[in-house]
């Protein structure tokens, strides 16, 4: 489990049902970034946690699909953080899919470059390693965000 910001943690599937950890860190919202885990683990009391899943896979399904998944995950993360919730973002191992969603969040909602977002997550989550097919998609978010920022000025 890695604390990335005051409100965002990245972890593994096993971390998502570690109720002691979740309670200690006041984590109430769980963003699952994997197709395999369709619901909140049975061990957790359902009324204590909000669970949302983006069915991301590490298979060559195309940039368009990855783009949609990452944007959806980042939007949900932004919503919850904006509402002042503590959030665990996880996939199976907390190495690629969850990391990619958090990087997307930093690029699209915090105005970071890909490199800065990558370094920020890497500083706290040393074992991260996004799937190689995710990298071009993540870098494209930076280009889109730069264009959007220019339009807003």
DSSP letter at 12 equals -
Residue at token pair 């990335």: 4
Structure tokens at 146: 């730069």
DSSP string, 14-48: GGGG-HHHHHHTTEEEEEE--SS--S--TTS-GGG
| Residue 33 among the catalytic residues | no
Kindly name the residue from 27, 54, 91, 117 that is annotated as catalytic: 91
Locate 141 and state its tokens.
């978010």
- The pair of structure tokens assigned to 114 is 């890909």
Residue 31 is given by DSSP the state E
What b-and-e string marks burial along 21-38, b requiring 16 or more CB atoms within 10 Å of the CB? bbeeeebebbbbbbbebe
For 131, half-sphere exposure in the C-beta direction (CA atoms, 13 angstrom radius) is 21
Q: Which residues are catalytic?
A: 91
């Amino acid at each position: 489990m890695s604390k990335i910001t005051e409100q965002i943690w990245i972890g593994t599937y096993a971390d998502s049902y570690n109720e002691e950890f979740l309670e200690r860190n006041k984590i109430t919202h769980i963003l699952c970034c994997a197709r395999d885990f369709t619901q909140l683990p049975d061990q957790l009391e359902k009324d204590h946690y909000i669970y949302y899943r983006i069915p991301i896979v590490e298979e060559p399904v195309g940039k368009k699909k990855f783009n949609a998944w990452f944007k959806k995950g980042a939007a949900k993360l932004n919503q919850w953080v904006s509402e002042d919730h503590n959030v665990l973002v996880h996939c199976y191992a907390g190495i690629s899919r969850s990391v990619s969603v958090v990087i997307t969040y930093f690029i699209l909602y915090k105005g970071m470059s890909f490199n800065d977002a990558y370094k920020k997550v890497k500083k706290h989550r040393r074992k991260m390693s996004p799937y190689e097919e995710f990298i071009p998609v993540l870098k494209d978010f930076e280009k889109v965000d730069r264009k959007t920022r220019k339009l807003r000025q």
